[in-house]
Amino acid sequence: MKDPINTEHNDDFSTDDWRRLLTHLGENADRQGLLETPQRVEKAWKHWTSGYDQDPAEILKVFEDGAEQYNELIVVRGIPVYSHCEHHLAPFFGTATIGYTPNGKIVGLSKLTRLVDCFAKRLQVQERLTIQIADTLMEHVQPLSVGVVIRCRHMCMESRGIRTPGEETVTSALLGEMRTNLGLRNEFMMLAREKD
């Protein structure tokens, strides 16, 4: 499933818009502590949504050297996830674990972290984020199997609404042989478990 890339990242949202938001919230945008806030917020949101300007296919450089004899799982866990939910623009954060079984090609390990970051720096829901990472890895690296597990805390649940601090949402995506090979699936899920 290909994810459309927004090539028209909107630069029309200005510091004046953030000033109006502050005023709308009941603040004095001319107060000393808020004078530079609109510029800082604009810069922060450009960073938090910079994934729209990245092409995931360009991130996944593959190597054939070193992969010709390796046919076991490769797992990277503890990959940081920082994103914003598209429903409230509230942050959610946690970690991702990615595993795959190579099929003659391996990807640089740092590229898996970059792939997570690329999709996390878009307005998201955790479920979509999980499958986007798995689908992209499957499409561009063409491994025998892919597994992705993401664990996150969501500020839209912790700081408003039901207000349940510390609750963790866990999502997973299993593709290729990981869907049909119970032993492989169990091995990945065991490796993806949180450290004791």
As annotated, the active-site residues are 85-88, 126, 154, 156
Hey, what are 177's tokens? 């042989």
Hey, what are 99's tokens? 């595993």
Hey, what are 27's tokens? 């603040």
- Provide the annotated binding site for Zn(2+): 85, 88, 156
CB-based contact 93:79 (threshold 8 Å): no
Amino acid symbol at 168: E
Q: How many of the other CB atoms lie within 10 Å of CB of 11?
A: 8
Secondary-structure breakdown of the chain: helix, strand, coil percentages, each rounded to the nearest 5: 40, 25, 35
> How many residues does this entry show for the chain?
196
- Provide the annotated binding site: 85, 88, 156
Sign, CA dihedral 116-159-156-31, equals negative
